[in-house]
Amino acid sequence: MTPLAFVLVALGSFRLTRLVGWDTITAPARRRLLHIDDAGKQTRPSVAPWRWSAAGFVHCAWCVGFWISAAAYAAFKLWPDATLIVMTPLAISAVVGVVAKNLDA
């Protein structure tokens, strides 16, 4: 893995981790996982324990980040060109997001 490929896969993995665990676009899926309505209230009185575990996993940067990184690395080993094609826009998005957040502060 070249240094450039490493940076692209790392930044792409960072962006995917943020997308899965914290971004607004995936919030409906996270709310549906726990049966939470738009007001933040649980719509079912009891939720299966696996749903709470899955939600905790999704919100844990260390947890979900590890598995996304492992999958990205495995994908790179199997399909290096295709992985870099997918990871490059994600890496650019990660850099843009971090820069914009720090410039807007």
> Mean pLDDT in runs of 10 for the chain (105 residues)?
97 95 84 74 71 74 91 98 97 96 82
Per-residue pLDDT, 66 = 94
Q: What is the mean pLDDT of the chain?
A: 87
**What are 23-45's pLDDT values in tens digits?**
889 888 877 777 777 777 777 76
Residue 4 is encoded by which pair of tokens?
């450039």
Contact (CB, 8 A) for 63 and 12:
no
Structure tokens at 42: 């649980």
Query: Rounded to 5, what percent of the chain is helix, strand, coil?
Result: 80, 0, 20
Residues in the chain, how many? 105
Render 13-55 in DSSP notation, one character per residue.
Answer: HHHHHHHHHT-GGGHHHHHHHHTB-TTS-BSSS---HHHHHHH
pTM (predicted TM-score): 0.79
